[in-house]
Amino acid sequence: MDAHVKQMYIGHKGKLTTLQLMKLELAGKIPNPMTHNLMAKQVQYVEHHKRPFFRGFNPDKKKGGGGVAEWSSLLDYDYLLGQDSKMNATVGAIDTETNECYEPYMVKVDHSQNIWVTCDETEPDFYSGVQEYTKDGSETATYGGECTNVPAGYAYCGFYEGYGYDSAQTANNVFLSLEFFEEEFCTSGGSCGFYDGGGFLYWPANDPSATPSLIGGADCDPICDAYYMDTDANGNLWFDYYGYANSEYGYGVAEVTNPTSDAPTFVSILNPGTMQCPGGVYVSTKGSTQTVNALDCSSRKIYTFTTGGVQGSSLGPVDLFGSPEGLGFNQTDTSAVNADCDLDWNNVGTLATNKWSPKKSPYEVSCLYGAAYTPSDK
């Protein structure tokens, strides 16, 4: 992945089409989490295929006898697609493009079966943000990336740019991971300070119009790029990232404790260089026990940890080839699902036996990315 090469980034103003956005990503001018070859494949596909049309759904008129059991994001065409329990029929669809959510990446489902999706570009300024939908597909909120709270010593924010791929929610806050952000703050006298790096935005829950706050570090200290994330029962952040430690750059897993306090603390869990490629991160809950699951999209194995940071047995490999990304667990923690943009299918695992099988989509698609069961175990 070349996404951590910061000098190639350029800002843009105003809305881009999905294809324009993808071409900027392919050129390295906007970050994205895919390999160059996979991004080129998606651009070529979208250039030669019309955008498909999926009807929305009426939850009172369910097909297949079960309604939506899993949501997948169709990245290149801006849809969330609802699959039945056997994952062989599409029984629901949410057109995120109509709500100005372009390139929907990761998907999560909360305890009320509300659907949360991270948009690579959305309103108000068309940088990355988070949208919330009800279980029947109605949009309820957009948390858009924009200038954050002005730090002490400055008068105003002069510039903001931020890109990210995953989000997580607690009872009090909505979080967005940022692979990369740039921000400029200025004094009333015109003296400005410039900040960039990887980190997180967060908003008060149920207040999408609030000014977001920033958790971030500059110059890869210690986070160069934050990728996929989740929160535990204590409101701490778990994520995979590209960073620096022990004289080595690479991919690892970390935690931020007390993230909304005046002194959030970074805790290294899996040192940079341990993972080959960042994938989905999901905190699963079985009874009172929580497990942090972090998917390596190259080895296709899932690292597991207690929320105390103790490493357990790994899961997977979820497939023999491809590049799996999204990750979600069902309500009883008997099954997990992840999506694969490269192979255009979902991988479903029976957790008791650690057996995984692909579920090919019943339609021609270009890139399934996020995956989440509904109901989930949240």
Q: Whole-angstrom Cα distance, residue 162 to residue 120?
A: 9
Q: Does 277 fall in a domain? A: yes
* Joined tokens for residue 186: 């200025």
Is residue 302 in a domain? yes
In degrees, to the nearest 5, what angle opens at C-alpha 350 toward C-alphas 347 and 351? Answer: 115
Per-residue pLDDT of the chain (378 residues; tens, 9 = 90+): 433 333 334 455 567 889 999 999 999 989 999 999 999 999 999 999 999 888 765 444 444 446 899 999 999 999 999 999 988 888 889 999 999 999 999 999 999 999 999 999 998 889 999 999 999 899 999 999 999 989 889 999 999 999 999 999 999 999 999 999 999 999 999 899 888 899 999 999 999 999 999 998 667 878 999 999 999 999 999 999 999 877 789 999 999 999 999 999 999 999 999 999 999 999 999 888 999 999 999 999 999 999 999 999 999 999 999 999 999 999 999 999 999 999 889 999 999 999 999 998 766 778 999 999 999 999
Torsion of CA 301, 107, 370, 35, to 10 degrees: -90
Cβ proximity of 182 and 194 under 8 Å: yes
Query: Residue 135: inside a domain, yes or no?
Result: yes
| 143 within domain boundaries | yes
User: d(Cα 184, Cα 203) in Å, to the nearest integer?
Assistant: 20
- The answer to whether residue 378 is domain-embedded is no
Q: For residues 256 and 99, what is the distance between their CA atoms, to the nearest angstrom?
A: 31
pLDDT tens digits for range 344-358: 899 999 999 999 999
Cα–Cα distance, 119 to 100 (Å, whole number): 9
Q: pTM to 2 decimals?
A: 0.93
Per the CB < 8 A criterion, the answer to whether 360 and 89 are in contact is no
The count of domains in the chain is: 1
Q: Does 228 fall in a domain?
A: yes
CATH at residue 348:
2.120.10.30
Query: Sign of the CA dihedral 321, 29, 41, 357?
Result: positive
368 belongs to a structural domain: yes
Structural element, H or E, at residue 39: helix 36-48
Note the pLDDT tens digit of each residue in 35-71. Answer: 999 999 999 999 999 998 887 654 444 444 468 999 9
The answer to whether residue 72 sits within a structural domain is yes
Q: Could you tell me the residue range of the domain that residue 351 belongs to? A: 6-373
Single-letter amino acid, residue 237:
L
